[in-house]
A and B are shown apart, each in its own frame.
Chain A
Amino acid sequence: MGGKVTCTLGEVKNRADFIIYWGGNPAECHPRHFTKYTLTQKGKFVPTGRKGRTMVLVDIRETPSAKAADVFLQVRPGKDFEMVAALRALVKGQPVDPALVAETGLTVEQLQDFVNQMKSCKFGVLFFGMGLSMTRGKHMNSASVLALAAELNAFTKFVAMPMRGHGNVTGADVILRYTTGYPFGINLCRGYPRFNPGEFSTVDLLVRGDNDASLILGADPGATMPQPAIEHLARTPTIVLDPKVTHTSKISRVHITTAATGVSAPGTVYRMDEVPLPLRPALKSPYPTDEEVMRRIREAVMKKPAWLPAANGRLAARA
């Protein structure tokens, strides 16, 4: 689980009586999260369903998800880290400066109430979205809410879970973790994995122009990345595997059309709580799957002499 204090969504459904959503809008982005996993389901230890649960939403604006919440706390944009720091101090009974708390747009009383609720619940869960993890403070914000959840275990059972967006981004974390030891941003150019976000993360790599070829699989950076990154993709050889001819395909040297994951391609996908689920495709695609094309590219590369001479025999033995 990568060191997180977390659980599965089945445990949330059966146990959680206090649910926090922070920096996310599940009502619009994960429409069945409330009804299938968290809020309205009746669980083994929450037999009354919605009545037996309390929900708090923390966000910078009142999204449609606020309608589902019992309490909505509006934090000032970019002040999430300060708010978590104040909450962690209050959890430990430390004094906090009301002037500093005021900067978050909330009062010490509101935060104290929030902490009292967290401490007095039987099983609390904190779901955090990109409104927390992708705004000012970024991974430090994620680290601080994970620490908050961990520290609350001195008083009750408390867990945290990121609200993951794209289908199998959780799977990418899991696969990279168990194959290389790191979750993302991994450089294998010395023949062993090195992890350094900021140096080996894609946007930074492309904007600096560090890499001299790219293979894009299950993503469309041509539509989402900053302009200097897109220009570098266009300048260097780029290869795209995608069910459609995308923005990235148009700036690439090679595009290969593949079957759509889950619709016409089988395989395994991880849910946001790191539970792997099999796909049951309903259609048969005229195109090969990502898996098949990746295997064929890999086999074509393996026919060439290995760049690391010592690896020649070892890699052939693995295939």
Chain B
Amino acid sequence: MPELKIVKNATCTFCGCVCDDIELHAEGERVVETKRACSLGESWFKHHTAERLYPDALIDGKPATVDDAVEVAAEYLYRAHMPLVYGLSNTTCEAQREAVFLAELIGGVIDSHTSL
């Protein structure tokens, strides 16, 4: 039986409410209880486990290492005349800042879900 880990005042990132009063109970690789979360938040936390369900990376659909994938990604973006960096919703502000820096380096367009 894995040890029960309790995280108080956890933050839910499913919707724009970003409720930060959730109590999470985690056992090993999954969240088993989400106190005060709504039904959407509960399924969000329980749906994302820490299991290794997918390969680290895929290049042309074939499993690859992150090191190789990073190099190939950098090469594609570097070679492009007009690359696009898009999304930015379901990620952290720290990653968004890196995305802006990258977009500036490669001389690309940066855009989020707001434009939809």
Determine whether A184 belongs to the interface, using a CB cutoff of 8 Å to chain B: yes
Interface residues on B, range: 35 or more
B16 A170 Cβ-Cβ under 8 A: yes
Q: How many residues of A contact B (CB 8 A)?
A: 110
Distance of A111 from chain B, by nearest CB (Å): 29
Q: Given B13, B57, B86, B104, which contacts A216 in the complex, CB threshold below 8 Å?
A: B86
A277 B102 Cβ-Cβ under 8 A: no
Q: Given B18, B48, B71, B103, which contacts A260 in the complex, CB threshold below 8 Å?
A: B48
A293 B66 Cβ-Cβ under 8 A: yes
Q: Which one of A81-89, A102-110, A149-157, A204-212 is at the interface? A: A204-212
Chain A residues positioned under 8 Å from B56 (CB to CB) = 256-257, 287
Closest residue of B by beta carbon distance from A187: B109
Chain A residues positioned under 8 Å from B106 (CB to CB) = 301, 307
Distance of A269 from chain B, by nearest CB (Å): 5
B5 A268 Cβ-Cβ under 8 A: no
Chain A residues positioned under 8 Å from B13 (CB to CB) = 167-168, 261-262, 269, 279
Q: Within the assembled complex, what's the spacing in Å between the Cα atoms of A96 and B15?
A: 38
Give 1 or 0 for each of B11-39: 1 = CB within 8 Å of chain A CB: 11111111111001110011100000011
Chain B residues positioned under 8 Å from A171 (CB to CB) = 88, 92-93, 96
- A-B interface, 7 closest residue pairs, ranked by CB to CB distance from nearest: A267-B92, A219-B87, A164-B16, A167-B13, A300-B74, A213-B80, A218-B91
- List 28 A-B residue pairs with CB atoms under 8 Å apart, sorted by A's residue number: A166-B15, A168-B91, A169-B16, A175-B93, A176-B110, A180-B100, A202-B84, A202-B116, A206-B84, A211-B80, A211-B84, A213-B79, A215-B84, A215-B85, A215-B86, A215-B99, A253-B60, A254-B57, A255-B58, A256-B73, A261-B92, A262-B10, A262-B13, A269-B18, A281-B7, A287-B52, A291-B95, A297-B77
The chain B residues found within 8 Å of chain A, CB to CB, are: 5, 7, 9-21, 24-26, 29-31, 38-40, 44-45, 48-50, 52-61, 66, 69-74, 76-116
The chain A residues found within 8 Å of chain B, CB to CB, are: 29-33, 36-37, 134, 163-176, 179-180, 183-191, 197, 200-203, 205-206, 210-219, 221, 224, 237, 239, 241, 243-245, 249-250, 252-257, 259-272, 276-291, 293-298, 300-302, 304, 306-308, 315
